[in-house]
Every structure is written in structure tokens, then in C-alpha cells.
């Protein structure tokens, strides 16, 4: 697992990739929306699960080097471990490792989109959903286009701006107020294989 700039790590190796290729473990990693560490009891409360159902998954993430112990806190007559991600940003390295790396990357993103499917179903029947206006918290779309290099660069510029905004919010998040809410944001920008290959180009 290589460290990159901006307090992020690049995940490589079968064990680390396998640890991320699970919707439940991705959800655990997504719980860390503030600089504060979490105990397994905290994770269970946030996820609406029993703590016993999470020990195995947290152990796998720790063994894979994606979560680290940052101390303990008293709990009754014993102490419970506190965890944080090893970096603010975890990135998958699909450029090395051949077919295995590609397959793990696909499984991980597929797990993320299974979470989107579940969250969307819950959002559409929630009385907390806002579908219009500046406080909209439910939106999903899929768009196809033939793009120029200039427009593609602009799209990536906006994606980077969204990433920077979210990263800044996470790093500076104070104690939450009653108006704050947890949201998920999942983006995918992909070339469409075989699309437009038979169209004439300029000069033809």
C-alpha cells in the first residue's frame, strides 16, 4: 500500500483489495466522516447492527492495513479499542497486478453501487428526502455523450472540485448540529467501449 500526496494511500495487493470488495466493509470505511476515532460499538450504533456482527470485518480491515488502532477508552471494567482509517483517502491501484487487480477493482466499485441501490430505495420512501432546491439530497442520473477533449477536461475539473469540497468538509467538520445530515455521493466516469467507432471524423 503506497502513500500518495494529500494524505491518501494507494491500495495494492490481493489482501487489501479483497478487504475492500465488500459492501459491509465499504460501509464501515465510510463511517469515518470526522477526525474522531470510532469504537466498534460506535460503528454498530451508526449502522444499526450488533457489535458482534462487525468484529470480523473490522479485524479484516485492520489486518489489511486499512484501519489502525489509535488508542482505547474505558467501557465498564474494560477498555475498548478505537480505530481510524490509515489515511483520509483510500485509492485502488488497478494499474498494476494484472487481471486480478482489475477484477478486485470491479468488485469493489460494484459493491459501492449495490450500496447506492440500497440507499436509493430507502431514500425514496424516507420523509427526510428532499427532491428539489438547494438542499436537495436525492439525485440520480446516467448520461451518455460524445465529448471533446476540452469538455472532458472541464468535467474532470468539476469532479475534482467536488472531491476537494467533500475532503475539506470532512477534515473541518465540527460537532454536528440538528440540521446536518449524512449523505453518500457515488460518481463514475467511464469510456463506453465500441460507441461511436463507426462515426466519420473531421477530415474523412
Q: What is the CATH number of the domain that holds 99?
A: 1.10.10.10
Is 164 a domain residue? yes
Mean pLDDT of 85-90: 82
Is 48 a domain residue? yes
Is 182 a domain residue? no
Is 194 a domain residue? no
- For residue 5, the model assigns a pLDDT of 45
Q: What is the b/e burial string over 38-75, where b = at least 16 CB atoms within 10 angstroms of the residue's CB?
A: bbbebbbeebebebeebeebbebbbebebbeeeeeeee
pLDDT, one tens digit per residue, over 126-149 is 999 999 999 999 999 988 888 999
Mean pLDDT of 79-92: 86
Owning domain of residue 21: 2-172
- For residue 129, the model assigns a pLDDT of 93
Cα angle: 8, vertex 9, 12; to 5 degrees = 160
Contact predicate 59/91, CB 8 Å: no
pLDDT at 13 over 80: no
Is 83 a domain residue? yes
Place of cell 494507494: 10
User: For 107, what's the count of Cα atoms within 13 Å in the CB-facing half-sphere?
Assistant: 16
- For residue 204, the model assigns a pLDDT of 54
Contact predicate 155/146, CB 8 Å: no
pLDDT bracket for residue 56 (50, 70, 90): very high
Is 186 a domain residue? no
Split into its structural domains, the chain has a count of: 1
Give CA–CA dist 40/28, Å, rounded. 10
Place of cell 482505547: 72
| Residue whose C-alpha is closest to residue 9's, from 69, 84, 91, 68 | 91
Amino acid at each position: 500500500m503506497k502513500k500518495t500526496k494529500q494524505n491518501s494511500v494507494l491500495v495494492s495487493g490481493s489482501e487489501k483489495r479483497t478487504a475492500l470488495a465488500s459492501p459491509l466493509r465499504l460501509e464501515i470505511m465510510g463511517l469515518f466522516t470526522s477526525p474522531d476515532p470510532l469504537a466498534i460499538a460506535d460503528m454498530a450504533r451508526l449502522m444499526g447492527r450488533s457489535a458482534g456482527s462487525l468484529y470480523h470485518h473490522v479485524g479484516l480491515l485492520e489486518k489489511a492495513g486499512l484501519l489502525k488502532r489509535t488508542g482505547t477508552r474505558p467501557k465498564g471494567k474494560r477498555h475498548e479499542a478505537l480505530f481510524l482509517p490509515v489515511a483520509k483517502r483510500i485509492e485502488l491501484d488497478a494499474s498494476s497486478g494484472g487481471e486480478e487487480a482489475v477484477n478486485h477493482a470491479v468488485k469493489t466499485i460494484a459493491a459501492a453501487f449495490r450500496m447506492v441501490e440500497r440507499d436509493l430505495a430507502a431514500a425514496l420512501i424516507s420523509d427526510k428526502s428532499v427532491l428539489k432546491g438547494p438542499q436537495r439530497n436525492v439525485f440520480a442520473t446516467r448520461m451518455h455523450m460524445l465529448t471533446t477533449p476540452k469538455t472532458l477536461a472541464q468535467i474532470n475539473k468539476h469532479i475534482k472540485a467536488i472531491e476537494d469540497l467533500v475532503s475539506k468538509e470532512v477534515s473541518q467538520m465540527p460537532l454536528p448540529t440538528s440540521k446536518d445530515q449524512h449523505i453518500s455521493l457515488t460518481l463514475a466516469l467511464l469510456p463506453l467501449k465500441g460507441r461511436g467507432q463507426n462515426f466519420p471524423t473531421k477530415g474523412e
